[in-house]
Amino acid sequence: MPRIGLMLALTLTLAPLAAEAQSAAKVYRIGFLGLSSASDYAANLQAFRQGLGDLGYEEGRNILIDYRWAQGRAERLPGLAAELVRLNPDLLVTHAQGVGAAQQATRIIPIVMGVSGDPVRLGLVQSLAKPGGNTTGVSAQIVDLSAKRLEVLKEIVPKLRRVAVLSFESPGAREGLRDTEAAASKLGGLRVRSFGMVTEATELEAVFATILRDRPDGLIVLPDSRMAPHNARIVHFSAKNRLPAVYGSRDFVDNGGLVSYAGNFREGWRVAARYVDKILKGAKPGDLPIEQPIKYELVINVRTAKTLGLTIPQSLLVRADEILQ
C-alpha cells in the first residue's frame, strides 16, 4: 500500500478510537442546591445517586457533584445558586425554593427539578408538557394534595371543626393553605388556621403552645424538607396532646405519626437522575415534559390510631397503599 494510503487508513482507523477515548474521559460537573442539609435529605440524595449509578455515572470517575446546602435557610438559596453558577457546571439540580433561586441565577445552564410542587402554578415553567426555558424535571404536585389531606382528616375525625395547619413559609405552602381553606369551605363548618414552623429547635415549644391555645381538633403538616430534623418532636406533640394529624411525608408515619398522604419523593429523585442523563446527552430541558408520579401514597399507622383512641374507617383502610401495624 502506498505511504499516503497507509497514513490515510491509519487516520480513519484511529480517529473514531480517539473520539471514543475523549468521550469516555469526559467528566461532567453538576451543581446540587439543597434547601435543608445533607443529613436531613440523605434518603432522597441516596435515591438520586442510585439513579445516576444505574445509568453508568459514578462520582469521582465520570461525574463531579458540587453541593451547596442552605441548612433550612431559604434566604441563603440565591447566594448559593450564584456560587454554583460561577463554577460553570453542565447543569444544576435542585428542589423546592431552590428552583426559583437557580432560575434567577442563570437562564442558560440547564436546571433539573428533583421533586417540586406544581411548577406551573408556582410560575416556574410554562407547562408540564413543554416547560420551555432551561428547567424541567419532576413534579410531586404536592400543592394539589392539600385538599385531600383535609378530606382524610375529616374521615378520621367526623366531628372535625378546627384545623391547625403547620408549615414553613414558602410559595408552595401559601398555595397549599389556600387549597386547604377552599376545601374547608366546601366541607362546611370547618375553620382553618395556619401556624408558621421554625428552623430552630429551641423555638418549637412556643409554636406548639400557640397551636394548643387555639384548641384544634386536628392537625395538617404540609410537606417541606426543613421539617426533617423536627419530625419526631412533631409526632410526639401530636401523640401527647391526642391530636390527630395528617402529614405531607411518610417519614412522619415511619416515626409513629398517624397518616400521611404524599407523592413518593425517593422515586421522584430516581426519575430526576434520568433527566440529568438525557440533558448530558444533548436533550434541551425546555423540550423534556415534566414527569408526575403515577400515584400518591396513603400510609396509615393503625397502632398510633389505637393509641389516640381513634377508629380508622374501613373506607379509608381499603384505599391505603400501606398500613403500619
Average pLDDT over residues 40-59: 95
21 has a pLDDT exceeding 80? no
| pLDDT score recorded for residue 22 | 44
Q: How far apart are CA 172 and CA 265, in angstroms?
A: 16
CB atoms within 10 A of CB 159: 8
For cell 445516576, the residue is 52
Give the pairing of strands 259-262 and 297-301: antiparallel
Strand order in the sheet with 91-94: 63-69, 28-34, 91-94, 111-116, 135-139
Q: How far apart are CA 262 and CA 182, in angstroms?
A: 19
150-191: pLDDT as tens digits: 999 999 999 999 999 999 999 888 988 999 999 999 998 899
More confident residue, 163 or 295: 163
| pLDDT score recorded for residue 265 | 86
CB atoms within 10 A of CB 14: 11
User: If DSSP codes are grouped into helix, strand and coil, which group holds residue 145?
Assistant: helix
For cell 403547620, the residue is 166
> How does residue 18 score in pLDDT terms, banded at 50, 70 and 90?
very low
* Amino acid identity for residue 252 in this structure: F
5 has a pLDDT exceeding 90? no
Q: How far apart are CA 260 and CA 102, in angstroms?
A: 30
Q: What percent of the chain has pLDDT over 90?
A: 77
> How does residue 12 score in pLDDT terms, banded at 50, 70 and 90?
low
29 has a pLDDT exceeding 80? yes
86 has a pLDDT exceeding 60? yes
> How does residue 11 score in pLDDT terms, banded at 50, 70 and 90?
low
Average pLDDT over residues 226-250: 95
263 has a pLDDT exceeding 90? no
Lowest mean pLDDT among 133-147, 175-189, 311-325: 133-147
CB atoms within 10 A of CB 67: 15
> How does residue 293 score in pLDDT terms, banded at 50, 70 and 90?
low
Which residues are 67's β-sheet partners? 32
237 has a pLDDT exceeding 50? yes
Q: What percent of the chain has pLDDT over 70?
A: 90
More confident residue, 83 or 187: 83
Domains defined along the chain, listed by start: 24-140+265-287 (3.40.50.2300), 143-262+297-324 (3.40.50.2300)
Q: How far apart are CA 322 and CA 300, in angstroms?
A: 7
- Nearest residue to 93 via CA among 75, 70, 109, 104: 109
Which residues are 66's β-sheet partners? 31
Average pLDDT over residues 61-87: 97
Q: How far apart are CA 11 and CA 7, in angstroms?
A: 6
3 has a pLDDT exceeding 80? no
| pLDDT score recorded for residue 24 | 52
Q: How far apart are CA 292 and CA 77, in angstroms?
A: 25
For cell 371543626, the residue is 161
- Name residues whose C-beta falls within 8 Å of residue 21's C-beta, 6 or more positions apart in sequence: none
| pLDDT score recorded for residue 92 | 98
CB atoms within 10 A of CB 23: 8
